[in-house]
Amino acid sequence: MGPSPAAPPARALPPHGGSLRRRVLVWLLPPLVVLLVINAFFTHRSALDAVNQAYDRTLTASVRAIAERTHSLGGQIQVDIPYAAFEGFETDAAERIFHAVFDPAGGLVTGYANLRPAELPDDDGTVRILDQPYAGETVRLAAMRKRLYDPALKGGDAVLIVFAETTGARRALAQDLFIASLQRQSLLVAVGAVLVLGALGSAFRPLLRIRDHIRKRDEEDLTPVRMERVPSEIAPLVEAINHHMQRLSAMLAARRRFLADAAHQIRTPLAVLTTQAEYGLRQTDPEEMLETFASLLRSTRAARRLANQMLTLSHAEAVNGVIGERAPLDLAGLVKEVAMELAPLALKRDIDLAYEGIGHALTLEGNGPMLRELVSNLIDNAIRYSPPDAAVTVAVAAFGGQAVISVCDQGPGIPEAERERVFQRFYRILGQGDSEGSGLGLAIVREIALAHGGRVSLREGEGGRGLCVEVELPLRGDLTP
């Protein structure tokens, strides 16, 4: 038996990913802050627009009040600035107020001569309101043109009425409204973050229950975790844990079965070796001692073969993972190599060992050492169970996507009633074979074939003599047990 395949390197777990709560907050809070900033920008604009609308009503009322007290008779414009035009601004002494009235020719009638709007209003009596610089600061200016219907006026009959105020109070009020709104929104974001943390804690509680449930289990309890009341988001995780537990349970069962078989089967060879050694120690005749040591050597070889086959059977079980290591290989070449390696054993027993190949490579995905062990067991069994001067034929063929390995001998064969039982471990038909047999050969063959997605069948040899063992293996790349 060749050396066992190297065990696959352990897969390292990813580094600690940190807290899921922190990760959710990191992904959630920055967008909320960005939205808060964007909303703050529009809130500030809305607050300023609302303040302007309120203050602009006072501006408009002041301009119209002056317009109502502006008249012309015989080309003489008379303006009586009413107290109501300034009444709405008395509560804010910090603001400065400006006014002016210009005749149709552009001359100043009253007020500030340089208080002229950047854009003239229409002649239909509408009030135009705009922001513009004046006296080193920004003012909110309202302008209106009023027709006086006096033919004596030069340049037309419409006067220009202008009223303006500084905007400090407007900006201060808008700032107060903006800050109040921003405080409320920030508080909402903070409350939302707290609610998100609480929701995450509630959402992760099923995970904590599963953790506590698994921690409280006995170390040998590998039963699946119950799926009741498991949220759909973590159901795949629980299913993966259950699948892993099933694999561990199968592997531990295989280990226990192997240990039980080993303890039962190795006890007898060890007892025989002990008895033979004790018997040899009592001998004084050299010939008797040599015969005893020869018997001891045969028993040792049988025990070694048994141990090797038991280890091979353990490796061949799919739960152990070794059989899952696959690579492309030439099955025809592998069978031919094994047959040549066992040719000396056939010559020693006067067996005619023949090989019938297909003349070209037969490639499949498989585990080379395990398939080599499969072929070796088939040929070795055929040689050991065949009488001298018999023939053993090893053949390889391919039919319909299946590779077929056939080993036929001319031995005693296996009765049809026994053919299923010979695949059981340590089962041997009484009166057949040699004393070195362990009853594991066909069990190993079937385990390796099943792990490669194949099957093993037994039939009578040609002419009803002997036994033919056929192993079919699929020639596809995704071989799965």
Read off the pLDDT band of 372 (50, 70, 90). confident
For 30-78, the pLDDT digits (tens) are: 887 888 888 888 888 888 888 888 888 888 888 888 888 888 888 888 8
What's the mean pLDDT in 251-260?
68
Read off the pLDDT band of 196 (50, 70, 90). confident
Question: Which has the higher per-residue pLDDT, 307 or 238?
Answer: 238
The C-alpha angle with vertex 343 and arms to 341 and 346, in degrees rounded to 5, equals 135
CB atoms within 10 A of CB 461: 17
Read off the pLDDT band of 404 (50, 70, 90). very high
Q: What is the DSSP letter of 1?
A: -
What's the mean pLDDT in 211-238?
78
What is the DSSP annotation of 200-267? HHHHTHHHHHHHHHHHTS-TT--PPPP-TT--TTTHHHHHHHHHHHHHHHHHHHHHHHHHHHHHHHHH
The domain ranges of the chain are 25-175, 235-314, 326-474
What's the mean pLDDT in 467-481?
71
Distance (Å, whole) CA 191 – CA 100:
53
Does 477 score more than 70 pLDDT?
no
Distance (Å, whole) CA 121 – CA 140:
15
What's the mean pLDDT in 433-448?
66
Read off the pLDDT band of 324 (50, 70, 90). low
Q: Which of 22, 21, 90, 42 is nearest to 62 (CA)?
A: 90
Structure tokens at 396: 């390889």
Residues 6+ apart with CB under 8 A from 239: 227
* The pairing of beta strand 391-399 with beta strand 352-356: parallel
Mean pLDDT across the chain: 78
- pLDDT score of 312: 64
- pLDDT score of 162: 92
Q: Which CATH architecture has domain 25-175?
A: 2-Layer Sandwich (3.30)
- pLDDT score of 439: 61
Distance (Å, whole) CA 439 – CA 437:
6
What's the mean pLDDT in 445-469?
84
Read off the pLDDT band of 435 (50, 70, 90). very low
- pLDDT score of 102: 92
| pLDDT above 70: percentage of residues in the chain | 80
Instruction: Classify domain 326-474 at the CATH topology level.
Output: Heat Shock Protein 90 (3.30.565)
For 267-288, the pLDDT digits (tens) are: 656 776 777 777 777 777 787 7
Distance (Å, whole) CA 123 – CA 126:
7
For 341-371, the pLDDT digits (tens) are: 889 888 988 999 999 888 788 888 888 888 8
